Amino acid sequence: MSTRTETLNTAARATAPTPGGDRLISLDALRGLAILGILVVNIFLFGTPYDVYDRIWTAPADLVALGIMLGFAEGKFYPVFSFLFGLGFALQMASAARKGTNFMPFFARRLFILLLFGVVHALFFSYFDILVVYALLGYVLLFLRDAPLRVLLILAVFCLAIPFGFRAIGGIDTEALGLLSYSNAERLEIYGAGGFGTIFMARLHDLAEYYVSVLEVSGGKVFALFLVGAVVGRLGVFQRPAEFQRWIRLAFWGGTVVGLIGAVGYVTTTLLDFSFESGLLNLGMRGFFAFSDLGLVSMYCMGMLLLAQQPGWPDRLEPLASVGRMALTNYILQSVICTTLFYGYGFGLFGTLQPAGLLLLAVVIYLGRLPSAQRGCGPSVWGRSNGCGAC
């Protein structure tokens, strides 16, 4: 068999339905990778009251762990999930059109189920839950389901600018809303030694603070990536990658260059607590870092698509894909594991691990999910498969 024929056959495998249904292994594997990235970031929120700005960690291993988390995970993987959500939305809408079924009530029902899971997850496990945000913004996406591609892209650019608009006006005054942040000592006492009721009440407080930050910062990026994913899905980039090879490679290499430069700059300035005296320069620096985050998002997404087309790689990506096929189950399960390990009503490890230990623990938790995920354990909340609506 010629190399060209083998490559074409591999590309066909990468874009063909998998045994689990009408799925693309590139999307499943990307979703599985995003689950790891989300855990790498969230375990710092679950496991310690401190952040990098407290500057309490100086050991080389801890600084390396912080650099990995900040440079390659923070602010990168919830946009990947958002992109997948929008892409999955477009694929499901196209599938419904082919079958002649009414897409709107079908997807609205899925969003409502996602919302219910998100409320339970937010109240009892994670105040930084993203599922509620996805469900609510998903209804807005549903309203725009027939909008022209150009309109979707213009709206995406506008949404990406929202955080800078809030920053320009000074943001939302959380103190005026009575949302005073807990000190590190208070967090250690509450989450590390508190009972379920104490932690539940603290979580309600932190949840209110978190939703303010969603409004100010992450909500616009989430919806922008919804829109970009929907555009990519409607164009057929992941379904027919052979037709878009030039653009896929351009997005991958351009995103890699911009993303890596931004990652190095962000890690360096954050760990050194560097800022310009000029507020305008600081705004420009933050703008570049936000843009570079999108570069790494492009690198991850297009890189996975390119890998899935290479000979032998669909099989190598199967472990990641097995996690991705149960993304919602794994996302919630990771929160259950972390609250059990860190909080006072569990093993009470909150505040006891350094960044290197937290990063290592995240990898161990993730690897522990691979065998069971490959067996397909766990109920599917969507029926045939699950994945936060991005299946």
Q: Per-block average pLDDT, block size 10, for the chain (391 residues)?
A: 38 35 81 96 95 86 96 95 96 93 93 97 95 96 95 95 79 69 91 95 93 90 97 95 95 97 95 83 87 96 95 92 94 96 96 96 91 44 40 41
pLDDT at 97: 92
Three-class secondary structure assignment of 273-327: CCCCCCHHHHHHHHHHHHHHHHHHHHHHHHHHHHHHCCCCHHHHCHHHHHHHCEH
pTM of the prediction? 0.87
Q: Is residue 238 domain-resident?
A: yes
End-to-end alpha carbon distance in the chain: 34
pLDDT at 384: 39
Count of domains in the chain? 1
**Full residue range of the structural domain in which residue 333 is found:** 16-374
pLDDT at 279: 77
Tell me the torsion sign for CA atoms 331, 348, 63, 265: positive
**Quick check: 334 and 293 in contact, CB under 8 A?**
no
pLDDT at 52: 79
Q: Is residue 336 domain-resident?
A: yes
DSSP reduced 3-state for 386: strand
pLDDT at 276: 82
pLDDT at 287: 87
CB atoms within 10 A of CB 374: 14
pLDDT at 353: 95
pLDDT at 14: 35
pLDDT at 178: 66
CA distance 102 to 352: 52
Q: Is residue 11 domain-resident?
A: no
pLDDT at 371: 54
Q: Is residue 379 domain-resident?
A: no
Q: Is residue 191 domain-resident?
A: yes
Q: Is residue 99 domain-resident?
A: yes
Q: Is residue 107 domain-resident?
A: yes
pLDDT at 216: 87
Please report the DSSP string for 239-266 in residue order: TSGGGGHHHHHHHHHHHHHHHHHHHHHH
Q: Is residue 146 domain-resident?
A: yes
The token pair that represents 139 in the structure block? 């209804």
